[in-house]
């Protein structure tokens, strides 16, 4: 039955183009309309991020109940902008990439984007921060985002900063995919890369049609068949067809199928899930069940939970392009319009200056893709999305154990585990107030008595190493001894090892299956 459902979903995907999008034709937008869509996209993203901000990761593995109020008032965006600027990593990361495009050209090499990203004085998390550490350590893209170097490779990071790619490639998803390959592999690969490619493609197609189901299904053409990401979004489309008025039923079935976390060590065997697969699904649930209503789209994407500021930001941004700024209800605009003149945190660009910059970048893209401008009319070639290469992270490994450590050490730490991969989570911790903040711990790791690597671990939050250590694809499942030694101990600092995640070549059998009766040991 599942295979039949996928076949039907594929037929549905194939039918939309014939009905709604005439690939190879020309989309014609006048300058005023194009600017209105640009402003709508950026405004929608900013409003959605603000709206969902208070709920971010407070609902892990659960929906936000309809009776739980989500605050909004006229100056809410302005106050959030002032008091919690780190919330807007969705937007300021887009702007950092846009500034590279303005300075060095859209086709600047991946290294230029990577260095600007890594050296920006902004707070980052998960795949972004792991990639930043890699880049500052000399590991450049695509290796900086590869799962063997980045335990967060499937996380949501590229998904939340791919807006700029679709925004400068209206109706040109093939060009958007080229830029996604260059930028997205800075911090992600596999499903994490697909999350950004998919969102960027939806933005691109939002300039060409106002039909939300078409935008979703046609954007999925960019994702190769057989991947977990594509299967998940196809299932959302299928379930929306089955339960068109019940987003919660759709949510429940998607959570059962895709709610587990394999990569991000924080999310393994935990309700926390920052994986691009499930969070992209929540963006699509918001878009499909929102039925073109700005509030409903944003609210459903928020109430799906997990990364519930980023998901409504993407959904509202895409819908903002469809409707244009003029189509966003005035209720959401007062605070935003006070923010528009203020540079976003960690950038020298405000929304008000981003709008004309976005238009200039569109003009450059158009020139390279065979489009043209006549007077105030933009003639844009409508490109058909094409699947990119297959790539899947964390193949051949499965989480089998998560162990609370709570170990603090200045000299060394020894751990034993059984498996073919391991991640040790933790950080450098200061023990004396006023200690030199430039301290960088130098660590050496031995596995089974053989030195595996040496690396630096800064105390500085901006430059920090997100996890203490990870290593995948050890020669064989089995018993291993891991030793981490501090080569330059300081009386003012120690290493705090929080948790350990162990991987093996086969997943755990279900706890209560007949084949595993009485054999499962505790995994926490």
b/e code 434-463 from CB counts within 10 Å (16+ = b): eeeeebbbebebbbeeeeeeeeebbbeeeb
Q: Which residues contact 143 (CB under 8 A, 6 or more apart)?
A: 134, 149
473 closest CA partner among 400, 421, 404, 430: 421
Residue 4 has pLDDT above 60, yes or no: no
Residue 241: inside a domain? yes
Residue 69: the pLDDT is 95
Place of tokens 């800064």: 458
Query: 433-469, pLDDT tens digit by residue?
Result: 999 999 999 999 999 999 999 999 999 999 999 999 9
Lowest mean pLDDT among 81-90, 260-269, 308-317, 375-384: 81-90
CATH number, position 234 = 1.10.4080.10
d(CA 424, CA 405): 9
For 223, residues 6+ apart whose C-beta sits below 8 A from its C-beta are 194, 197, 198, 229, 230, 233, 387, 388
3-state SS string for 386-403: CCCCCCCCCCCCEEEEEE
Whether residues 292 and 237 fall in one domain: yes
CA distances, 77 to each of 71, 74, 186 (Å): 11, 8, 30
Examine the domain organization and report whether 327 and 427 are in the same domain: no
* Statement to judge: residues 209 and 345 lie in one domain: yes
Global confidence as pTM: 0.94
Q: Does residue 12 surpass a pLDDT of 80?
A: no
What CATH number does residue 481 fall under?
A: 2.60.120.260
Reply yes or no on whether the pLDDT at 513 is more than 60: no
Output the pLDDT for position 518: 45
Confidence of residue 476 (pLDDT cuts 50, 70, 90): confident
Residue 342 within any structural domain of the chain:
yes
Q: What is the pLDDT of residue 345?
A: 86
Residue 114 lies inside a defined structural domain of this protein: yes
Domain boundary among 381, 409, 435: 381
Residue 491, domain extent? 398-516
Query: Do the domain assignments include residue 523?
Result: no
Can you give the pLDDT at residue 415?
Answer: 98
Residues 371, 416: one domain? no
Per-residue pLDDT, averaged over 160-166, amounts to 98
pLDDT at 2 over 90: no
| 371 and 470 housed in the same domain | no
pLDDT at 20: 79
For 388-413, write each residue's pLDDT tens digit.
999 999 999 999 999 999 999 999 99
Q: Are residues 453 and 310 in the same domain?
A: no
Closest CA to 106 of 366, 466, 461, 361: 361
Average pLDDT over residues 257-284: 96
* pLDDT-above-70 percentage for the chain: 94
Total domain count, the chain: 2
pLDDT at residue 155, as a whole number: 98
User: What's the token pair of residue 272?
Assistant: 């926390």
Question: What's the Cα-to-Cα distance from 95 to each of 86, 101, 172, 180, 308, rounded to whole Å?
Answer: 14, 10, 20, 15, 21
> Tens of pLDDT along 334-346?
999 999 999 998 8
Residues 260 and 225 in one domain: yes
Q: Quick one: 158 and 210 in the same domain? A: yes
Same domain, 69 and 207: yes
Cα 475–chain centre separation: 31
Could you tell me if 443 and 454 are in contact, meaning their C-beta atoms sit under 8 angstroms apart? yes
Q: Is 70 exceeded by the pLDDT of residue 5?
A: no
Residue from 234, 262, 273, 271 nearest 250 by CA: 234
> Do 34 and 163 form a contact (C-beta atoms < 8 A)?
no
Does the residue 294 lie in any domain? yes
Burial of 405 (0-12, 13-18, 19+ CB in 10 A): middle
**Across the chain, what does the average pLDDT equal?**
93
Last residue of a domain, one of 381, 415, 435: 381
| pLDDT of 372 higher than 70 | yes
What residue has token string 């844009």? 380
Residue 387 lies in a domain: no
Is there a single domain that holds both residue 190 and residue 74? yes
| Residue located via tokens 């073919």 | 420
Which tokens sit at 484?
Answer: 């981490």
Alpha-carbon distance of 41 to 317, in angstroms, equals: 4
For residue 518, CA distances in Å to 98, 509, 512 come to 56, 11, 8
Q: How far apart are the first and last CA of the chain?
A: 36
């Amino acid at each position: 039955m599942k295979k039949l459902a996928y076949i039907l979903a594929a037929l549905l995907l194939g039918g939309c183009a014939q009905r709604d999008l005439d690939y190879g034709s020309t989309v014609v937008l006048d300058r005023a309309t194009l600017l209105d869509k640009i402003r709508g996209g950026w405004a929608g993203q900013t409003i959605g991020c603000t709206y969902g901000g208070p709920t971010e990761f407070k609902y892990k593995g659960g929906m936000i109940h309809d009776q739980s109020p989500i605050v909004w008032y006229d100056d809410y965006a302005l106050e959030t902008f002032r008091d919690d600027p780190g919330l807007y990593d969705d937007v300021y990361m887009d702007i950092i990439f846009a500034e590279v495009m303005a300075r060095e050209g859209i086709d600047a090499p991946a290294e230029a984007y990577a260095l600007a990203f890594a050296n920006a004085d902004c707070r980052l998390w998960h795949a972004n921060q792991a990639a930043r550490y890699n880049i500052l350590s000399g590991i450049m893209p695509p290796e900086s985002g590869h799962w063997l170097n980045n335990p967060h490779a499937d996380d949501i990071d590229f998904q939340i900063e791919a807006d700029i790619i679709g925004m400068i490639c209206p109706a040109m998803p093939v060009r958007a995919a080229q830029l996604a390959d260059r930028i997205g592999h800075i911090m992600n690969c596999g499903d994490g890369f697909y999350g950004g490619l998919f969102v960027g493609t939806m933005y691109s197609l939002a300039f060409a049609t106002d039909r939300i189901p078409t935008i979703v299904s046609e954007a999925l053409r960019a994702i190769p068949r057989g991947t977990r990401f594509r299967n998940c979004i196809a299932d959302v489309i299928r379930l929306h067809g089955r339960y068109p008025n019940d987003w919660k039923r759709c949510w429940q079935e998607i959570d059962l199928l895709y709610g587990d976390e394999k990569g991000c060590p924080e999310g393994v065997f935990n309700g926390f899930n920052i994986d691009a697969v499930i969070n992209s699904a929540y963006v699509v649930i918001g878009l499909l069940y929102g039925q073109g209503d700005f509030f409903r789209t944003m609210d459903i994407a928020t109430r799906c939970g997990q990364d519930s500021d980023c998901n409504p930001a993407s959904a509202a941004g895409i819908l903002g392009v469809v409707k244009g700024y003029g189509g966003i209800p005035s209720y959401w605009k007062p605070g935003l319009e006070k923010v528009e003149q203020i540079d976003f945190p960690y950038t020298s660009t405000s929304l008000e200056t981003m709008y004309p910059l976005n238009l200039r970048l569109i003009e450059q893209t158009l020139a390279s893709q065979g489009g043209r401008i006549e007077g105030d009319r933009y003639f844009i070639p409508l490109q058909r999305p094409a699947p990119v290469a297959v790539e899947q992270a964390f193949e051949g490994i499965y989480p089998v154990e998560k162990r609370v450590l709570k170990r603090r050490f200045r000299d060394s730490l020894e751990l034993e585990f059984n498996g073919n991969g391991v991640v040790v989570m933790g950080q450098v911790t200061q023990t004396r107030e006023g200690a030199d903040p430039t301290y960088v711990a130098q660590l050496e790791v031995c596995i089974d008595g053989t030195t595996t690597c040496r690396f630096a671990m800064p105390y500085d939050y901006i430059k920090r190493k997100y996890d203490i250590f990870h290593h995948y694809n050890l020669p064989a499942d089995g018993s291993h001894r891991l030793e981490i030694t501090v080569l330059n101990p300081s009386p003012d600092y120690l290493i705090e090892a929080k948790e350990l995640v162990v991987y093996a070549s086969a997943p755990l059998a279900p706890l209560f299956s007949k084949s595993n009766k009485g054999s499962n040991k505790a995994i926490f």
